[in-house]
């Protein structure tokens, strides 16, 4: 009977959005391989990882999410350890981002994002931790630790993600506006530290935003990736090559670096046009809205913060990735959640969706009058 009630309350809209976004990713990866002359291997691998992510989401939905509460800090600590372990493995394409286990490998930075959300949620669930300025030092350290480790891999996009995510979670928790402004100032002060740790290539990606080439100009070097992304957006037009056909005779203009991963947004825009890109962004908007709705309906502080943090995690990544591809932000290598190729990212975001579903199933814990006072036990309502 309990399982039937949970099944009836299951946020089916979130499940459908999860499946739709994974499906969009498969379409984008298929087009990317077609343009690159691939054999379809990436598509098959991503489909398999999609099934694994679905199983992971189901497993994360089953147990009561409050069982994770006491494990949040150990999980975050293990994520930091795994970020250090990557340096024990050989570099792949000049980067040390993966831990190899036989034929398989996983990218710890993808799981570190979710671990950070969990650790921050536990810390911020107590009102006294974020309603005074001194209590904001620990969140800044929690964000800085994985950022520096990931930056050295190097992975600039993921490293910079933690600071807007930190500010978003502080805002969700209800931190005072004055303290948020001071936290922004602290992040700005930390920026020179991050800049000093960047490689020349990473710095060139930042400066390329202010030195964008004129339309039609052949670009080589630092601005090449951005120029190709904007070119592919233009080639897609309104309806894309799926309906209008390929509009360029030179097939070389359709080749773009990292088409299945970082640049998959413009690959989808080329294939399905402005219409397809808008549908993709709309799916993300609906998923983020679902996360916000679940957070608002949850009266238990830890669950509310986790749901809100997951929504912020998706929102920030989508905004950064789309901003990179249109030239508003530096191309820093941040993937599109659930859509970009990569088993680690797909599984990590599948687990995040599972936690979101888990919280949506169990919103009804009573709390005290003050926001985010953690109850020792749920209060039972009288019959």
Q: Where are the domains of the chain?
A: 10-361
Q: Decide: 195 and 203 in contact? Cβ < 8 Å.
A: yes
Query: Hey, what are 134's tokens?
Result: 């001194």
User: Phi and psi (nearest 5°) for 105?
Assistant: -145, 150
From the list 364, 286, 339, the residue with the least C-alpha distance to 17 is 286
Query: Hey, what are 309's tokens?
Result: 């943090």
Distance (Å, rounded) from C-alpha 157 to C-alpha 331? 8
pLDDT of amino acid 316: 96
CA distances from 266 to 227, 261, 278, 357 (A): 12, 11, 12, 30
Q: Decide: 314 and 287 in contact? Cβ < 8 Å.
A: yes
Handedness of CA 20, 244, 260, 333 (dihedral sign): negative
Checking phi first, is residue 190 left (phi over 0); if not, alpha (psi -120 to 50) or beta? Answer: alpha
Query: Hey, what are 138's tokens?
Result: 């620990």
User: Phi and psi (nearest 5°) for 177?
Assistant: -60, -40
Place of tokens 């089953």: 62
From the list 115, 112, 331, the residue with the least C-alpha distance to 209 is 331
pLDDT of amino acid 377: 42
Query: What letter does residue 381 receive in the DSSP assignment?
Result: P
Distance (Å, rounded) from C-alpha 115 to C-alpha 108? 10
Handedness of CA 10, 12, 18, 19 (dihedral sign): positive
Distance (Å, rounded) from C-alpha 223 to C-alpha 195? 19
pTM score, two decimals?
0.88
**CB contact set of 276 (below 8 Å; sequence gap of 6+):** 236, 240, 242, 268, 269
Distance (Å, rounded) from C-alpha 267 to C-alpha 287? 22
pLDDT of amino acid 219: 58
Residues (pLDDT < 50) of the chain are 1-2, 4, 366-383
CA distances from 32 to 40, 46, 95, 268, 330 (A): 10, 13, 23, 9, 22
Handedness of CA 35, 36, 37, 43 (dihedral sign): negative
Place of tokens 């998706």: 314
The kind and range of the H/E element at 99 are: strand 99-101
pLDDT of amino acid 368: 38
Q: Decide: 114 and 348 in contact? Cβ < 8 Å.
A: yes
Distance (Å, rounded) from C-alpha 344 to C-alpha 179? 35
CA atoms within 13 A on the CB side of 287: 32
Distance (Å, rounded) from C-alpha 240 to C-alpha 252? 17
Find the length of the chain. Answer: 383
Handedness of CA 112, 118, 121, 122 (dihedral sign): negative
């Amino acid at each position: 009977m309990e399982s039937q009630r949970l099944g009836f309350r299951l946020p089916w809209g979130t499940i459908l959005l999860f499946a739709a976004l994974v499906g969009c990713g498969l379409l984008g990866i298929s087009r990317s391989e077609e343009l690159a002359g691939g054999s379809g291997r990436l598509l098959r691998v991503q489909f398999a990882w999609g099934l694994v992510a679905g199983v992971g989401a189901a497993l994360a939905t089953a147990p009561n999410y409050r069982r994770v509460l006491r494990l949040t800090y150990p999980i975050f600590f293990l994520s930091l350890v795994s970020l250090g372990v990557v340096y024990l493995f050989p570099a792949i394409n000049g980067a040390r981002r993966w831990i190899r286990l036989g034929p398989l490998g996983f990218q710890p930075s993808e799981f570190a994002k979710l671990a950070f959300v969990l650790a921050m949620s536990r810390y911020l669930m107590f009102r006294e931790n974020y309603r005074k300025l001194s209590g904001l030092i620990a969140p800044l350290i929690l964000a800085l630790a994985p950022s520096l480790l990931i930056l050295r891999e190097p992975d600039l996009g993921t490293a910079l993600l933690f600071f807007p995510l930190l500010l978003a979670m502080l805002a969700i928790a209800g931190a005072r506006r004055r303290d948020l402004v001071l936290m922004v100032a602290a992040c700005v002060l930390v920026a020179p530290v991050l800049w000093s740790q960047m490689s020349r290539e990473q710095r060139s990606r930042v400066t390329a935003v202010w030195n964008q080439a004129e339309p039609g100009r052949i670009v080589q070097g630092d601005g090449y990736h951005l120029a190709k992304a904007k070119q592919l957006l233009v080639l897609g037009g309104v309806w894309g090559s799926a309906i209008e056909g390929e509009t360029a005779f030179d097939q070389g203009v359709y080749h773009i670096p990292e088409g299945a991963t970082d640049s998959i947004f413009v690959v989808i825009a080329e294939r399905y046009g402005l219409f397809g890109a808008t549908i993709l962004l709309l799916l993300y908007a609906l998923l983020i809205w679902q996360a916000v709705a679940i957070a608002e309906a949850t009266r238990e502080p830890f669950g509310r913060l986790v749901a809100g943090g997951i929504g912020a995690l998706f929102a920030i990544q989508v905004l950064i990735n789309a901003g990179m591809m249109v030239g508003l932000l530096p191309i820093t290598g941040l993937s599109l959640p659930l859509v970009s190729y990569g088993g680690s990212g797909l599984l990590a975001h599948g687990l995040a969706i599972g936690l979101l579903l888990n919280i949506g199933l169990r919103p009804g814990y009573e709390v005290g009058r003050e926001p985010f006072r953690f109850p020792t036990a749920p209060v039972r309502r009288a019959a």
